[in-house]
Copies of this chain bind each other. A is one copy, B any other.
Amino acid sequence: MARFEATVSAPVNIACINASCVSRNPATVLILFQCAHRYWGKRNTALILPTNSSLSVTLSQDHLRSTTTSSTSEGYEQGDRLWLNGKEEEITKGGRTEVCLAALRKWRREVEEKDSTAAKMSEWPLRIASFNNFPTAAGLASSASGLAALVYSVSQLYVLPQTPSQLSLIARQGSGSACRSLFGGFVAWEMGQRDDGADSLAVQVAERDHWPEMHALICVVSDAKKGTSSTSGMQKTVATSTLLQHRINHVVPDRMSEISRAIAAKDFNGFASITMRDSNSFHAVCLDTAPPIFYLNDVSRAIIAVVEEMNRASLASGGGLLAAYTFDAGPNAVIYALEENMPMIVSTINEFFPQTLDFPDPFNMLAAATAATSARPQGFNNSVVREGGWEKGAVSRLIHTCVGDGPRRLSDEEGLLTVEGVPKTLA
């Protein structure tokens, strides 16, 4: 009996301009979607339509990736099945995964209607296994890379003719910012205007090879001090923040064009300045909500202080900006910098924020460091971090990566499923 399969890997992406209505924090997802609904009247929150456009950098799959195998066969038992990191997950009726698979099947049917020789895959059950090479506990955007990998894998399986932008329409419905993981390099998620979301999709702003010097240092911050949110009933966020409206209507549109220009011109000063401003603006709006939403914690603030000081010292001695921080819906910092400045940045962060997990140092920053390459800018004030530094594990781990390519088709040898359609790890 015929059986088909396709294995792919897809990347993580980190926003420089944040979409206010996409949150990876489950407690706030519905709140922020309510907010999207409020501002867009008829727009359907199930479609995950954001209140503003956003822009991200795709990170290298050499370091972070979701690998997904999807297979289909007339001989499989009825009903789709899905495994994430070896554990079977229910595909909830009406849930986002089901929505994505239904949309992909619809496009496969169009292929089959045009070509009577094409296998009737759209009618067969699916088996999908996905694996992240980074832990969910790291708070990295695993739903973005995972959903993008799922969509891309099935689109490869179904041999769909759609472009990555069109595929991003489906990924968006799975998990908002997943749409940006359909491309490498620098990617924009254009918010679109239509109520049906047909124009809310990802487009590539620049390829990875346009600016390969763009590196990123992810600082995974522990949030042990945070209590759990109230579980008794859903918090009704009165998203009356007028700051949010101002951000949506004025601030972000301007920044989207400015940062696109900076990327095109490989202008790191412009890129960094806008990225930091937008991170702070996003978190300012979160704070201006009732009840307020806090993603940044004291360690996050300390990282901001170090980066601000690096930049200040650099500017003061006639240089440019060296690094840009950005924070998404959590305390983790992503520090963007050009490759040439990473030795200094990695050693500085490593010194001020000792981690509990070993730093793999994939680019050999620490091992090859010299006094010259690690030297902080003249006038750098070491007291911006409290005396004695931070306790070990305040930052639990560092991940050094760089701008990367878009989803990759892998060989069947790298497949995660057996011919019976169950994960190899469980067989």
Contact = CB atoms under 8 A, between A and B. Distances in A.
Contacts of A383: 227-228, 231
Interface stretch (A54-62, A157-165, A299-307): A299-307
B385 A305 contact: no
A386 B226 contact: yes
A199 interface: no
A258 to B, nearest CB: 13
Contacts of A302: 225, 227
Nearest to A294: B301
Interface size class of A (residues with CB under 8 A): 35 or more
Number of copies: 2
B297 A290 contact: no
Contacts of A297: 298, 301
A229 interface: yes
A246 to B, nearest CB: 5
Nearest to A287: B284
Interface string A238-255: 000011001100110000
Given A225-B302, A280-B287, A384 B312 contact: no
Contacts of A385: 227
A142 to B, nearest CB: 24
A179 to B, nearest CB: 27
B232 A313 contact: yes
Contact of A281 (B224, B243, B304, B308): B243
A193 interface: no
Contacts of A360: none
Contacts of A292: 280, 304, 308
A78 interface: no
A291 interface: yes
A333 to B, nearest CB: 13
Interface in A266-293: 273, 276-277, 280-281, 283-285, 287-292
Contacts of A224: 386
A309 interface: yes
A288 B247 CA distance: 11
Given A284-B284, A298-B225, A302-B227, A290 B312 contact: no
Contacts of A304: 291-292, 294
Given A230-B313, A242-B251, A243-B284, 10 more contacts: A226-B386, A227-B386, A231-B383, A246-B246, A280-B288, A284-B285, A291-B304, A291-B312, A294-B301, A297-B298
29 contacts: A225-B302, A225-B386, A227-B305, A227-B386, A228-B381, A228-B383, A230-B312, A230-B381, A231-B383, A232-B312, A232-B313, A232-B316, A232-B381, A242-B246, A243-B243, A243-B246, A246-B246, A276-B290, A277-B290, A280-B287, A280-B288, A280-B290, A281-B288, A284-B285, A284-B287, A284-B288, A291-B304, A294-B304, A297-B301
